Amino acid sequence: MLNSELLHYVQGTKKNILLNVLFRWFALLMNILISFSVARLLNDLFIGQPPNYFLYFISVLSFWLVKFLFERRAELYGHQLSESVKIDLRQKFFKKIISIGPSYNQKISTSKIMQLAGEGIEQLQTYYSGFMPQLFYSIAATLTMVVISFFINIKTSLILLLLSPIIPLVIVIGLRIAKKILGKYWKSYFSLGHIFLDNIQGLTMLKSYDLDAEKHLQMNLKAEDFRKKTMSLLRSQLNSINMMDIIAFGGLAAGIVTALYQLKNHQMSMFVLQGDTRLLAVFFIILLCYDFFVPLRILGSLFHVAMNGIWASTFIKDVLDAPENTQANQTIENLDYDIQLKEVSFSYDKNKIISHLNMEFPHKKITSIVGQSGCGKSTIANLLIATVTGYQGKIIIGGIENKFLTTENRMMTINMLTHNPYFFKGTVKENLHIANPNATNEEIDSLLRDVHLYDFLYEQQGLETYLSENAGNFSGGQKQRLAIARTLLQDPEILIFDEATSNIDEESEEIIMKLIRKISCEKTIIIISHRLSNVKLSDNIYYMSDGEVKEQGTHEELINAQKDYAILYQHQKHLEKYAK
Ligand SMILES: Nc1ncnc2c1ncn2[C@@H]1O[C@H](COP(=O)(O)OP(=O)(O)OP(=O)(O)O)[C@@H](O)[C@H]1O
């Protein structure tokens, strides 16, 4: 019921729980004093002794005021607890995702991260700030009331003592029953989140294929499944709440009946008071019985919300406990940005993608990788930028094994431009500043001239020109040229162009290729392209097939070799001539 491991994840939790419980316990003592005062007043009225109303009023008001202050204090600690839990857990969660590095996606899906960071942590917050303090408070309050009732009437006290563990027992049984339901609930929730995010990301494509209505229906089915799972969870929670109500009210009735029975048998008295205290004792114990089951009953209700948190915690814990690459603490110190792959192999699950690759990508040179679709070209790029990890062999970048490079250093050193760069809604300047927040307008303008976008942008609002979502108001070629300007603004030493010129107009392609050749005298350039005409001027070309390097050399050398590269080149040349 109490996951003690979780306590370690949130700083200051124990202190805040302790203070919250302590002040609520003080408030309980005040409440008991109020009950005692009310019992005395009733006793006075019943035995015909004129009560001192003013004294009762003052004492009840004073107890109530002190109780109110204690409760406010407890609330304050509860609030602190609740906030620190949420902030702490979210910070730890995101820090962990960042420290796992760009390959986090191999371990956990984006939709799951969003759901756990949002709803998951929200649920866990209730566990920490509601359920956990309530659990300790319930124990303290129950024991306190059992001890006090012991001094009034032992039998009633024993009845309360015997009945008190039933509610926690129902909670434990409820947890066992709900385990299966909760498993289904979270599975359905993750599945809904995954499909929702996927469809939102691909909405434009879905619309263009007129598939949005179909996907809408699919999402409705998932949402309906989630609704059913939620209802089933709520039903089980409601059953258990009903059960706890029966026990709480049954316990209250049992306590009252026992007390009255004891009164009838002349066994009721206040041990500590002189004289005939039978009626006082019975009123006091009835009021105590009324309060007795309240903490346990609240524990029961909170338990159902906390149960979700406990379940979410297992997923959150998996993320927080995910192994980090603690060896990744080196940075490239020298000015050598050569890359070497030595006997590198990699598999997705058991599917071998590349095998025993030996490649070199020298600094200040253009090296290209070509080959049939699916031969593993992008996998090499992904291994270099570490969005994919778990390779055998060695990848040496600037003299340092890739695994040992810090994520920050790798990200500052290597940049990959794909055929589908992302732009945020906002101005051109805002989007370019992502790569370098300190870049001046002059530096940006100079790059915009290099990518032949200057005139186009300054015919509009210049750097303040507005980009709609993912630069939807720009053509494919303009978007790609803007992306290259953004990449160059960051000024990384190693640049990977993975099909960066596919699907764009010839003019843009020519501009980009010219620029790549211009910067190649000071950077390590890797070009991945299915169009061999783009790699003709490379210093070295690797021709790959089935995850292996089959040929290597300059364009002329490979053409003269008259093997697969030459055949593919002639084939593409023929097709391009035909297309024109
Ligand atoms: N995340 C993944 N999980 C499992 N298999 C994958 C994953 N990504 C790629 N693959 C598989 O790895 C193989 C190599 O993919 P890769 O993207 O490296 O090929 P490529 O040579 O770049 O192809 P293309 O020229 O079509 O982009 C393919 O068979 C692909 O199906």
pLDDT of residue 305: 73
Nearest C-alpha neighbor of 520 from the set 505, 507, 538 = 538
Structure tokens at 362: 């020298």
- Testing ligand 1's pocket by substitution, the residue of 344, 347, 351 carrying the most ligand atoms inside 8 A of its CB is 351
Angle of the 476-490 helix axis to the 441-450 helix axis, nearest 10:
130
Q: Could you tell me which CATH number the domain at 4-320 has?
A: 1.20.1560.10
Residue in the structure block whose two tokens are 């563990």: 165
Domain 339-579 has CATH 3.20.20.70: no
Token output for 495 = 């640049």
Q: Is 379 in the pocket of ligand 1 (CB under 6 A)?
A: yes
Distances, alpha carbon 287 to alpha carbons 24, 29, 31, 247, in Å: 18, 13, 10, 17
| 352 Cβ below 6 A of ligand 1 | no
* pLDDT single digits (tens) 268-309: 666 555 556 778 888 888 888 888 888 988 888 888 777 777
Residue ID of nearest Cα to ligand 1 atom 31: 374
Q: What are the DSSP calls for 107-158, one per residue? A: TS-HHHHHHIIIIIHHHHHHIIIIIHHHHHHHHHHHHHHHHHHHTT-HHHHH
Which atom number of ligand 1 is nearest to the Cα of residue 376?
A: 18
Residue with CA at minimum distance from ligand 1 atom 1 = 348
CA–CA dist 573, 11 (Å, integer): 65
- How close is the Cα of 374 to the center of ligand 1, in Å? 5
| 527: enclosing H helix or E strand | strand 524-528
Which pLDDT score is estimated for 492?
92
How far, in Å, CA of 177 to CA of 39, rounded? 42
Look at residue 270 in the predicted model and tell me its pLDDT.
Answer: 60
Q: What is the Å distance from ligand 1's center to 413 Cα?
A: 24
| Cross-strand pairs, 342 | 394
Question: Cβ(353) to ligand 1 under 6 A?
Answer: yes
Strand-strand pairing, 494-498 and 414-417: parallel
SS3 sequence, 27-50?
HHHHHHHHHHHHHHHHHHHHHCCC
Closest atom of ligand 1 to CA, residue 544: 21
Ligand 1 centroid to residue 353 C-alpha, Å: 8
**Which amino acid residue places its CA nearest to atom 4 of ligand 1?**
348
Q: Return the best residue to mutate from 348, 420, 502 for the ligand 1 pocket (most ligand atoms within 8 A of CB).
A: 348
What's the first-to-final CA gap in the chain, in angstroms?
72
Cβ–ligand 1 contact at 348 (below 6 Å): yes
Tell me how far apart the alpha carbons of residues 372 and 187 are, in angstroms, rounded to a whole number.
38
**Cα angle value 400/401/405 (rounded, 5°):** 75
Read off φ and ψ for residue 204, nearest 5 degrees: -60, -45
Cα(544) to centroid(ligand 1), Å: 13
Residue 542 carries which side chain, given as an amino acid letter? Y
Decide whether any atom of ligand 1 lies within 6 Å of the 390 Cβ.
no
Nearest CA to ligand 1 atom 8: 379
Strand partners of residue 415: 495
Residues in the chain where the model's pLDDT stays below 50: none
Sheet holding 400-401, edge to edge: 351-361, 339-348, 392-397, 400-401
Atom of ligand 1 nearest to the CA of 351: 5
Cβ atoms of 416 and 341 within 8 Å: the answer is no
Contact 379, 354 (CB under 8 A): yes
Q: Which residue's CA is the closest to the ligand 1 atom numbered 13?
A: 374
CA-382 nearest atom, ligand 1: 18
> Which pLDDT does position 274 carry in this prediction?
58
Cα–Cα dist 268/282, whole Å: 7
| Residue 416 phi, psi dihedral angles, 5° rounding | -115, 130
- Find the 373 Cα to ligand 1 centroid distance in Å: 8
350 lines ligand 1 (CB under 6 A): no
Domain ranges of the chain: 4-320, 339-579
Q: What integer pLDDT is reported at residue 243 of this predicted model?
A: 84
Structure tokens at 292: 């007795």
CA–centroid distance, residue 33 to ligand 1 (Å): 73
Q: Ligand 1 pocket: which of 107, 351, 353 to mutate (most atoms <8 Å of CB)?
A: 353
Distance CA 67, CA 505 (A): 76
Atom of ligand 1 nearest to the CA of 106: 1
d(CA 330, CA 340): 17
Pick the closest to residue 164 from 22, 295, 307, 18 (CA basis).
Answer: 295
Question: Given this model, what pLDDT does residue 7 score?
Answer: 62
Give dist(CA 493, CA 359) in Å, integer: 18
Measured distance CA(577)–CA(580) in Å, rounded: 5
272: burial class by Cβ within 10 Å (0-12, 13-18, 19+)?
exposed
Between CA 361 and CA 552 the distance in angstroms is: 12
Q: What is the pLDDT, as a whole number, of residue 282?
A: 84
